[in-house]
Amino acid sequence: MARLALLSVSDKTGLVELAKTLVEEFGFDLISSGGTAKAIAAAGLPVTKVSDYTGSPEILGGRVKTLHPKIHGGILARQDLAEDQKDLADNGIRPLDLVVVNLYPFEQTIAKADVTMADAIENIDIGGPAMLRAAAKNHAHLTVLCSAEQYGPYLESLRASQGQVPLEFRQACARAAFWHTASYDQAIATYLTASTSEEDALPQQWAMTGRQQATLRYGENPHQTAAWYRTGSIPTGWAGAEQLQGKELSYNNLVDLEAARRIIAEFPSDRPAAAVLKHTNPCGVGMDDTLASAYRRAYDADDVSAFGGIVVLNRPIDADTATQLTGTFLECIVAPGCDRAAQDILAKKQNLRVLVLEDLLTGPTQVVNAIAGGFLLQAPDTYRDDPATWQIVTEAQPSEAELTEMLFAWRVVKHVKSNAIVVTHQQQTLGIGAGQMNRVGSVSIALAQAGAKAQGAVLASDGFFPFDDSVRTAAAAGIRAVVQPGGSRRDDDSIKAANELGLIMAMTGVRHFLH
């Protein structure tokens, strides 16, 4: 008797070619349902509808098609067990040799802006996961395929083994099927949790599955293995970015690129902005009337640290900006676009990685940090600061221009590792103190870097000042205004010092630590 294959797919990619080869080269009989059966029949290939094979019509508008003993008996039967073979014979069931199933496009459905809960629920596949799980469980006796990418290797395996697919291959396909259903269920559970949870509430249960996007040469250091995984079946974020040129991305590149995305998301595209990052910290951020000058201001803020850095831009790269970018060694550049002239200029730097990510604003909805025995989960720090909510706690009050500058500095310091201090003037960073074990050290580093340019500048601190010493140090360097979260028991000491020295001080009431 000919071998039997069940084909039931939502994604029809490669379907007809697979069916044709199964029938014409390997003599398979095919059973199929719904649109899959129509596509196979339209190609002139013999196929039996599931309803004709089972003797049961599709019911409930197609919700019940394959949930039938003749289907699942054929999938789950153990070919080396006499009792199972007798059950098949007694019930007129043929054993299946191949099950090809992929699922309703749930993630594509919920990605639509106008999706309703009813639409999402209707795109939850029931029969498909049941068949995949059953076939994966019984992989000792049949093969299960859940992706068009597996069709070619399966056919090659059939040819190489005279029709007997090796157990190792079947096991690999079974693993893929279980991961496929696990990812599918996780997407549904996540959607339903997000749709019914209170704002900012974290779920009682949380899971994440990913599909390997690339094997990386190594992790943070050469002795550490690493790989890049994307979540969901639809490539989004960095998995959906277009790399126009350059070497493959490394682990550290990707970590830095995500830090770059987070900081540029602070600056709307109504005014050009650029940031240069090194080891996830900004070493220069600038805004100006053109993208080229915004980048130049970011680069000039710390041209020593910029060497070998990551550049992120909030507007598409033009020729003038590209020319500026080729003036030094950079690891990566990312922008929401890159025009043809700019691409030609950047191409002269063959190893320079240039990426286009159209949506630089959308990031992960949860931040995960692995710890021994589990993980920590938190919402990302996407809080949008509004100076209208700040308290100006000093006698000196800021002008509109000074308040705008204070907001610029505050947006940058949010993305500097704690303890963080940022000095800015005219929407350009002048000095950045990052990752010090005490705030006094960060103040000293930032002011030393700013030097004489600190005259009339703004200083932002990601944490409060527990003593007035840093306020006095800032004033002595020429700082005009300070923005900090406040909240110390000794805030009055800092306010008193600011008033004594003629400083402006704003307390935001919001802290942005970045550990």
Is 193 a residue whose pLDDT tops 80?
Answer: no
Instruction: Please name the residue that has the structure tokens 């949380």.
Output: 206
Verify whether residue 279 is a known catalytic residue. yes
Each domain of the chain, given as residue ranges in start order, spans 4-196, 241-377, 387-507
Position 62 scores a pLDDT of 73
Residue of 12, 20, 38, 279 marked active site: 279
CA contacts within 13 A on the Cβ side of 212: 6
- Tell me the pLDDT tens digit for each residue of 246-270: 999 999 999 999 999 999 999 988 8
Instruction: Please name the residue that has the structure tokens 């000074």.
Output: 402
Is 198 a residue whose pLDDT tops 70?
Answer: no
Cβ count near 181 (within 10 Å) = 21
- Tell me the pLDDT tens digit for each residue of 89-105: 888 888 999 999 988 77
- Tell me the pLDDT tens digit for each residue of 15-72: 999 999 999 999 899 999 888 899 999 999 999 988 888 888 877 877 777 788 888 8
Is 356 a residue whose pLDDT tops 90?
Answer: yes
Cβ count near 44 (within 10 Å) = 8
Position 163 scores a pLDDT of 77
Cα–Cα dist 12/9, whole Å: 6
**Cβ–Cβ < 8 Å for 476, 450:** no
Q: Radius of gyration of the chain from Cα atoms?
A: 30
Q: What is the DSSP letter of 428?
A: B
Fold of 241-377: Cytidine Deaminase; domain 2 (3.40.140)
Structure tokens that stand for 424 in this block: 């800015």
Comparing 241-377 with 387-507, is the CATH topology the same? Answer: yes
Window from 65-79, 278-292, 329-343, 372-386 with minimum mean pLDDT: 65-79
Verify whether residue 86 is a known catalytic residue. no
Domain 387-507 CATH assignment equals 3.40.190.10: no
Architecture of domain 4-196 in CATH?
A: 3-Layer(aba) Sandwich (3.40)
Is 197 a residue whose pLDDT tops 60?
Answer: no
SS3 content of the chain, % helix, strand, coil (to 5): 40, 20, 40
Q: pLDDT category, 201, cuts 50, 70, 90? A: low
More confident residue, 424 or 51: 424
Peptide bond into 419 cis (omega under 30): yes
Cα–Cα dist 124/131, whole Å: 14
SS3 424: strand
Torsion of CA 461, 462, 463, 464, to 10 degrees: 40
Query: Is residue 101 within a helix (H) or strand (E), and if so which, with residue range?
Result: strand 98-101
**Cβ–Cβ < 8 Å for 503, 479:** yes
Position 191 scores a pLDDT of 79
Q: pLDDT category, 200, cuts 50, 70, 90? A: low
Angle of helix 151-160 versus helix 167-196 axis, rounded to 10: 160
Query: Is residue 211 within a helix (H) or strand (E), and if so which, with residue range?
Result: strand 211-216
Is 216 a residue whose pLDDT tops 80?
Answer: yes
Cα–Cα dist 239/247, whole Å: 16
Residue of 12, 20, 137, 496 marked active site: 137
- Tell me the pLDDT tens digit for each residue of 98-151: 999 988 777 777 777 788 888 888 778 788 889 899 999 999 999 999 998 999
pTM of the predicted model as reported, rounded to 2 decimal places: 0.81
Alpha helices in 238-312 (DSSP H): 251-264, 291-300, 303-306
Query: Is residue 228 within a helix (H) or strand (E), and if so which, with residue range?
Result: strand 226-230
Cα–Cα dist 4/388, whole Å: 70
10 Å CB burial of residue 158 (0-12, 13-18, 19+) is buried
Position 335 scores a pLDDT of 98
